[in-house]
Structures are given as C-alpha cells and as structure tokens.
Structure 1
Amino acid sequence: MSKSPLYDRDFYAWANEQASLLRAGKLAAADIAHIAEEIESMGRSEKRELVNRLAVLLLHLLKWQFQPSFRGNSWRLTIEEQRYRLADHLADNPSLKGTLPETTANAYRLALVEAERETGLARSTFPATCPWPFDAIMDEGFWPETGSH
C-alpha cells in the first residue's frame, strides 16, 4: 500500500504536500518511494523532449534536402525554432549531451517515418542513418542541399 494514498487520488495535492514535507525537513513523513519515482520520470521526460525536438528538426532538414521545390518560410522557421529550443533544452540539461549519439539515432528513426508520411517519398529515398553530425544539425548556417550526404 502506498505511504500516501493521496498520490493515487490527487497528484497535484500530493506533490504540494510532499514539497511542504521536504521543505520542513520531515523526511520520515514524506513518500520517498514515489518522490524518487517521480524524479526519475522527470529525467526520462527531459530525454523524450530532446528526442522529439530533434526528430522535428531532422524531419524538416530531410524535407529541405529532398523536396527543394517545396522549401518555404514555414520550413525555415521550424528549423530555426527547433535549433533554438534544442540549444535551450541542452543548456538546461547539459548531462543530456552525453546521450546525443543514441538520441540522434532514435530521433532520426522517427524523422524517417514522418518524412515518408509527409513527403510521399519512399523511405529508401532517404539515408538509412542520420547523414549529418549533431554540430551541423545545430549550425544556423547549415541548410542541406539536394543530394548532399
């Protein structure tokens, strides 16, 4: 049974109660198991956020490269926005930089699915693995050209 039945009934109230207990130094009364679980969950959420933003950026870079006739302000602005948001996210969570090879590979797999869906092009049109290093992806001067890998 949960040390705090409130955890299952009203998460917001539980979180506020736990914060108050921790601030007051009442660790014995705190729901330590669930607090630890929630902290771990927050960490996973930060990593998912990185993958999701990177997938959006990679999708638009693929579209930019493989559908040059459709390039427009909307794609350009999405690429710029995701670069800014990713830079901010990594600045807030610098330890995520150590996950970039794995995260980029995961994000690229998602970007491929979306690129196939959004462009109507066969998946085999696109490189099987991410063709750009992370530093290039984030470089505001980097805009992939047709056929360049």
Structure 2
Amino acid sequence: MSDTSLSLLYEQDAYTWALRNAELIRTHRFSEVDWEHVAEEIEAVGKSEWRELESRLIVLLAHLLKWQYQAKGRGRSWQATIKEQRYRVRRVLESNPGLKSHLDTILRDAFTTAVLVATRETNLDESTFPEVCPFGFETIIDSDFWPE
C-alpha cells in the first residue's frame, strides 16, 4: 500500500488504517508508515486523557460545590458521585502520571466549568461560588473531605 493510499485510508476507515500502521511498525516497515497521521493520533490520545481527567474533576468539583452551598440537597446520590469521581480521578492519574505536572492548569480550568455546572444545577447565582478553587488537589481527592 502506498503512502498516498494509506493516507486516504485514514480518512475512509480509521480502524483499518490503525491496524495496518500497527502491523507496519511491528514488522519494522517504517518507510511505509503514515507517520503524519500516526503522530496526530498519538497526540489525540494524550489530549483525550487530559480531557478525561478534566471531565472527572468538573463533575467532582461541581458536586463538592453543591454539597457545600446547597446542603439541603445532600443525599446518597451526591455522596456516591463524589466517591466515584474521586476514585476515577485517581485511576486516570495512575494510568497517566505525566498529567500530575499539569494539575494546576487542569484544576483551574475544571473549576471554572464546575462553577457553571453547579450554578445550573442549584439555581444559585454564579456569584455565590468562589472565583478560584478553594480546595487543593489533595483535599479534593481526600476520601474524608466533605466541605461544610
């Protein structure tokens, strides 16, 4: 398969393209690999893991905010969601320790979105919530932490 046809395959059938490139790499036929798209896919994997961590933190932070600012809504469902997201955040970081060096940025961005989620889900004014995350990362994932 030529470079051009392999590149076209990427646009038409990503699954077959991926298997073909994996085979080429395993058999050391490096000159036949669609390197440009391979590089794009590798970058996409990294971005996907970043988004996964950020998404988990958004849900976790929104629930912690709701727990703190709308105490009347506290219940087993919120508690279960907080516990689940803490677990999932830990798992993402265990699988992707390189993300730890970006936690400040990810946490800051996640908190901004979490405030919007909490605002929508509580019907409280956005100004009710802090502008900056009041919790450190270690506090957020601490199983014993329940904001009051």
RMSD: 1.0
* Distance in 1 between residues matched to 2:91 and 2:54, nearest whole Å: 14
1:39-94, Cα deviation, whole Å (9 max, x unpaired): 01110111011111000000000000001111000000000000000001000000
* Deviation, structure 1 residue 133: 0.4
| TM-score normalised by structure 2 residue count | 0.96
Paired residue total: 145
Q: Map 1:27-106 onto structure 2 (within 5 A).
A: 27-106=30-109
Residues in 2 aligned to 1:69 and 1:37: alpha-carbon distance in whole angstroms: 47
Unaligned runs of 5+ in 2: none
**2:140 match:** 137
**Structure 1: where are the runs of 5+ without partners?**
none
Aligned equivalents of 2:7 and 2:98: distance in 1?
Answer: 32
Displacement of 1:10 in angstroms is 0.4
Paired with 2:78 and 2:143, the residues of 1 have a C-alpha distance of 14
Runs of 4+ in 1 over 6 A off after TM superposition: none
Q: TM-score, normalised by structure 1?
A: 0.95
| Percent identity over paired residues | 50
Residue-by-residue CA offset, 1:71-120 (whole Å, 9 max, x unaligned): 00000000000000000100000010000110000000110110110000
